Amino acid sequence: MSTELQQPTGATVDAPKMRVAKPKAPKEPQFTLKTPKGTKDWSDKDMVIREAIFETISKVFKRHGGVTIDTPVFERREILSGKYGEDSKLIYNLEDQGGELTSLRYDLTVPFARFVAMNGIQNIKRYHIAKVYRRDQPAMTKGRMREFYQCDFDIAGTYDSMVPDAEILSIAVEGLTSVGITDFKVKVNHRKILDGLFEVCGVQLDDVRRVSSAVDKLDKASWEDVKKEMMVEKNQPEDVVDRIGKYVLLKGSFRETLDVLKADEVLLSNESAAAGIKEMETAAAYLESFGIIDYLSFDLSLARGLDYYTGLIYEAVTSASAPPPKAEGDEKLSSKDKKKKKKEQGLDEDDNSENVGVGSILAGGRYDKLVGMFAGDKKKNSSIPCVGVSFGIERIFSLVKARAGIMDKVRPTSTQVYIMAFGGGKEWNGFLPERMTVAKKLWEAGIEAEFLYKAKPKPRQQFDAADKAGCPLAVILGQEEFLKGEVKVKELGLGEESDEGINVKLEDLTAYLKEKLNEKNGGGATEEIIRLLTSSEI
């Protein structure tokens, strides 16, 4: 007898249930939300000040007849290579793009020389405001960054000796003073004088640029350290280095230092040095005519390491240019504590702000052979002489921002007039279309104006919005007055009871506001910022 259990006819057996794994949702990408090292985002009050600086310096350039150009942010690598001496290692090289090797521009000078050679230009005064890139150790709070703006003005063409050079130095002084920086000195030197003194001191021709780069460090290192570098790293005999020290430690007022050099028979016996001294003597009269010679310091330690300089060289420095004194106890901090301190200050681990100063805030010089490198000897413009100056905007900005009280006084927007509407009752609709009409009228007249994006805003909401924008004036559309073709203009920021306002007819509104704004800040938001930058009260 079978022992199998028989399933009743018609019955079914459920299949075992299988668990099917649900497909996993794709993992959300994780981002490190920070800018690359040596760069930063700019916004709010920072941008207001920066734009005012750009506009002010641009006006200086235009006053001197400058025309602006723009060049690519990257150049063919061969254009940039070999132009920056030891600093060539700081160039950002890009990946091969179909057989073309390119690099991010290191400055605006070499691209300008390429532009002049490529277009056969015989003379031009050009200015260029754009970003450049250097793979350097950043010091963010000092304006020393890997991506930063330069504002350049250059004069290309053949002119009487030292006339363009003197005007370039005048532009340098005008540019700094126009943004409120007055406690600076422009250090000047001459490449021919340097080459001549190195020659009479016994430096071999092949070593001149290497020795120059060491001398150029005297603004941030002691003579003992520079002397050691020249002897150990640059392989210069001690007697040669001592002779160099006699000259490169010489500095003072333009006329006094020039007189010392003119009395040096050894230097005058050298053709290069004698030519440089003669050019500086020619420049002195022009610098006095421009009224800027007192801003200058003749400093023989200034070498400017870039290989393309051939004549007058210069850079501007302030008290903040030098490295800061070490904070007490910093030398005892461990690496971990130093990293923690930088993190608390919002700085990257490799930021070098605590060890360096702002450095030079503008620099430049004469470069008579750079265009010829690109043009070739057979072209008619192969020897176009050039001289220029470059303002370091980030460094200038760091000085401006450090001025006590300035950030508290800068408004985050350019808004000059806030348009409001007051009324009440069942029939009150908030005058939103009417506020739009008045705003359009002001915009067309060139007046920066805003209104609240609410159909029926309360008075307090509108005043709070105007206060946040920092507006100096309010135009109020009253429920009854507006129907009569009048609005009230009220001065803001004087307290609740200080200004009841004045009624103005709609057809007279733009003229009245322009006059009022001109009395308050010179007519516009930029003028208001510049007034703050140049104010002796801050």
User: Annotated binding residue at 134?
Assistant: yes
User: Annotated binding residue at 216?
Assistant: no
The answer to whether 156 and 123 are in contact (CB under 8 A) is: yes
User: Annotated binding residue at 126?
Assistant: no
User: Annotated binding residue at 154?
Assistant: yes
Q: Tokens representing 420?
A: 């409001």
User: Annotated binding residue at 264?
Assistant: no
The answer to whether 339 and 350 are in contact (CB under 8 A) is: no
Radius of gyration of the chain (CA): 33
Exposure of 201 by Cβ count < 10 A (0-12 exposed, 13-18 middle, 19+ buried)? buried
The answer to whether 377 and 159 are in contact (CB under 8 A) is: no
Q: Which of 472, 328, 320 is nearest to 395 (CA)?
A: 320
Region of residue 167 (phi > 0: left; psi between -120 and 50: alpha; otherwise: beta): alpha
Exposure of 208 by Cβ count < 10 A (0-12 exposed, 13-18 middle, 19+ buried)? middle
User: Annotated binding residue at 308?
Assistant: yes
Q: How many CB atoms are located within 10 Å of the residue 128 CB?
A: 22
User: Annotated binding residue at 534?
Assistant: no
Residue linked to tokens 């970003």: 131
Distance, in Å, from the CA atom of 437 to the CA atom of 152, rounded to the nearest integer, reads 43
Task: Return phi, psi of residue 199, to 5°.
Answer: -65, -45
Residue 166 Cα distances to 151, 285, 312, 398, 486, angstroms: 18, 9, 10, 28, 56
User: Annotated binding residue at 39?
Assistant: no
Residues 6+ apart with CB under 8 A from 123: 156, 157, 158, 384
Q: Tokens representing 325?
A: 């004194």
Residue linked to tokens 């703050």: 532
Q: Which of 106, 160, 390, 171 is nearest to 282 (CA)?
A: 160
Q: How many CB atoms are located within 10 Å of the residue 318 CB?
A: 20
User: Annotated binding residue at 296?
Assistant: no
Distance, in Å, from the CA atom of 46 to the CA atom of 182, rounded to the nearest integer, reads 21
Distance, in Å, from the CA atom of 20 to the CA atom of 39, rounded to the nearest integer, reads 50
What string of H, E and C letters represents the secondary structure of 304-350?
Answer: CCCCCCCCEEEEEEECCCCCCCCCCCHHHCCHHHHHHHHHHCCCCCC
Distance, in Å, from the CA atom of 70 to the CA atom of 129, rounded to the nearest integer, reads 8
The answer to whether 509 and 438 are in contact (CB under 8 A) is: yes
Task: Return phi, psi of residue 226, to 5°.
Answer: -65, -40
In the sheet with 124-133, reading across from the earlier edge strand, the strands are: 67-68, 124-133, 147-156, 386-392, 362-366, 312-318, 184-190, 296-299, 251-253
Distance, in Å, from the CA atom of 393 to the CA atom of 414, rounded to the nearest integer, reads 21
Q: Which of 248, 220, 249 is nearest to 321 (CA)?
A: 220
Residue ranges for the known binding site for L-histidine are 107-109, 134, 150, 154, 304, 308-309
Residue ranges for the known binding site are 107-109, 134, 150, 154, 304, 308-309
